[in-house]
Chains A and B, each alone.
Chain A
Amino acid sequence: MDLPISQILFYLFALAALVSAFGVVAFRNPVSSAMCMAACFGFVAAIFFGLGAEFLGIVQIMVYAGAVLVLFLFVVMMLDVKKEEKLVVSLPAALVGTCIAAVFAGMITNVSLSLPGATDCCPMAAACETPANVQSNTTPNPSKFGGPLAAPKSGERSDTHILGEMIFTKYNIPFAILSFALLSACVGTVAISRKLRQD
């Protein structure tokens, strides 16, 4: 058995993320599902941390677990839980759902197999070693999952810098377009939810 702690941790978190993701669909109680989703976000963030992408990890927690999902929970609590728990799944709906899930799973598998180092023991750690989408010369290079005990070294740029540079230089236009799309959605929601005055 020659499993470094990094790999054990990676598989542990990956497994936990999968289990909690399954819990989201399996639980009949919407609040339980939402909490499972929060746990899933947490484990994915843990994987990010292990890969040295601290910024992504913390944003995962802050934005998804901290804000988006709380809003979800907010809405879910308004539902009638007893009614939701009694809901029976119809066969055609389940079939269609399974089909969509299968297609999606196929896509994901295809993409992840084409990533560099996909056939290694710890695929994501290997993928981080040779980042395909980051062309910067001074990328963080954690040799394995967990890195050299995650202690920041001076002179090495953090992933926050790299991410910021990528977003605001190379991907600036897609980023701006995405922002505008979200903004329009926001304005649209306000416009729809606002009551029209009678007079």
Chain B
Amino acid sequence: MQFIIDCWNSVMGDPTWFYLITTIAKLALMFILLLLFVVLSVWIERRIAGWIQDRPGPNRTGIPIHLLQRFGSKEKQPLKKWLEYFGVPANSWIAKLCTWLRLDREIPLFGLIQPMADGAKLFLKQEMTPSYVRKGFFIAAPMFVLGPPLIAAAVLPFSSSVDTCYGAINMCVANLNIGVLWIFAFSGLSVYGLTLAGWASNSKFPFIGGLRATAQLISYEVAMGLSIIPLLMMFSTLNLQEIVQNQAENGWTLVPLWGEGLSLQRWVLLLPMCISFLIFVTSVFAEANRTPFDMAECETDLVGGYHTEYSSMKFASFFMGEYVAMVVGSALVITLFLGGWSIGLGADVCLADWAKAAAITGSDQAATCWQSILGCCAGWIVVLLQFVAFIVKLVAFVFFFVWVRWTLPRFRFDQVMKLSWLVFFEIAVINILLTAAILYFIQ
């Protein structure tokens, strides 16, 4: 036992190994988080689409009980047995609730298994590669769609940093000084996938879809980049972790209610920030190829758009890439405008102070057992709370994405381009000048 602890200490004591191990752990966490969120957002999408259209959505898919029977359990009605085991009478409200939740037939989980079933279906489908395609690019295109958003997520901070006895861990896979640009650059790269898919398919509808995707993504990249500049001027950093830290201390960009956020300048800056927010959110919709901007795959005029010729897991890669882009886009919006992992109302600063104080009392010789345990865990508790705040915001924004999708009809392509170049571009540039004036004149 002692040997293992010594090994652990010597490995973690080396800064290089410490950095490597923590980075890999964060990487795995971020990757799993993203993929889970893809699954979750598919489920959210389908359930909410159902509710908005007065129907339940996929609520049946569960783990059927007879599957358990197949794996050895011979009981015909396990629910009854379980209820008897716990001494619950068969006509009590608990039993009724269980029956209402259909626990007597399956473990339903509110249809959460549905995306898994979809995935399994796509895995098992026949892979069709038409004979007339450009094979190399045809196979590479889905990778180009799925890869870049996953890389882009590397700079997203999902919690603040925590001090351990080996060193500080920054809860962000790559705490780069150019975080915002990193996301822009890589989310822009996914356009290669769409373009190549359209071209390599060697058929006319995918080609039109690919061209539309290219034009749309380039246009909205411009609007997106320009809309964010006022925000960067305000925070004067490109580092996402620092931006979120600043918001945690001085009020979220759109909710300046504590810290320095109460100053006159911040309240006047709210106007350009709101304009930025509108432009940015719209551009994120366009970048993620979501309705009302899903020009590239609008089935009414382009069959299936750029993925017409794709089937099975290649199609699933496009599908997943789209959802990952959506999740990363939502995460970026909440990171820049809604305080990222920050809990809000100045709670982050208080929590950080509390964690520090707890660590000091915990390391004291006179500390009780509980105090020392709390001292060890305090930092982690704070990080966990902030992580939960981040997840809650992310889910809320994904819900917003879905809500908008099932509300707004699709734009026409010329309207989309006009919106970007004739409206957003101008407003964003004026917004930059406005922010500069406010920053200069109102101190």
Interface residues of A (CB under 8 A from B): 31, 35, 38, 54-55, 58-59, 61-62, 65-67, 70-71, 73-74, 77, 149-152, 158-160
22 A/B residue pairs, CB under 8 Å, sorted by A: A31-B134, A35-B137, A35-B192, A38-B192, A58-B182, A59-B181, A61-B185, A66-B188, A66-B189, A66-B221, A67-B188, A67-B218, A70-B188, A70-B191, A70-B218, A71-B218, A73-B214, A74-B214, A77-B195, A149-B19, A152-B175, A152-B239
Are B186 and A61 neighbours in the complex by a CB distance under 8 Å?
yes
Are B176 and A54 neighbours in the complex by a CB distance under 8 Å?
yes
Q: Rank and list the top 8 A-B pairs by shortest CB-CB distance, nearest first.
A: A66-B188, A62-B185, A158-B177, A61-B185, A58-B181, A54-B178, A77-B199, A58-B178
Per the bound structure, the CA–CA distance linking A152 and B182 in Å amounts to 15
- B16 is an interface residue with CB less than 8 A from chain A: yes
Residues of chain B in range 105-152 having any CB-CB distance to chain A below 8 Å:
134, 137
Per the bound structure, the CA–CA distance linking A158 and B180 in Å amounts to 14
Residues of B within 8 A of A150 (CB): 174, 176
- B238 is an interface residue with CB less than 8 A from chain A: yes
User: Count of chain B residues with Cβ under 8 Å from any Cβ of A?
Assistant: 31
Interface residues of B (CB under 8 A from A): 16, 19, 134, 137, 174-178, 181-182, 184-186, 188-189, 191-192, 195-196, 199, 207, 210-211, 214-215, 217-218, 221, 238-239
Are A160 and B188 neighbours in the complex by a CB distance under 8 Å?
no
Per the bound structure, the CA–CA distance linking A66 and B144 in Å amounts to 12
Residues of B within 8 A of A31 (CB): 134, 137, 196, 199
Residues of B within 8 A of A158 (CB): 177-178, 238
Sample of 8 further A-B pairs with CB below 8 A, known A54-B177, A74-B211, A160-B238: A31-B196, A54-B176, A66-B188, A66-B189, A67-B188, A70-B217, A77-B210, A152-B176
Per the bound structure, the CA–CA distance linking A37 and B175 in Å amounts to 28
Distance of A87 from chain B, by nearest CB (Å) = 18
Residues of A within 8 A of B174 (CB): 150
Residues of B within 8 A of A151 (CB): 19, 175
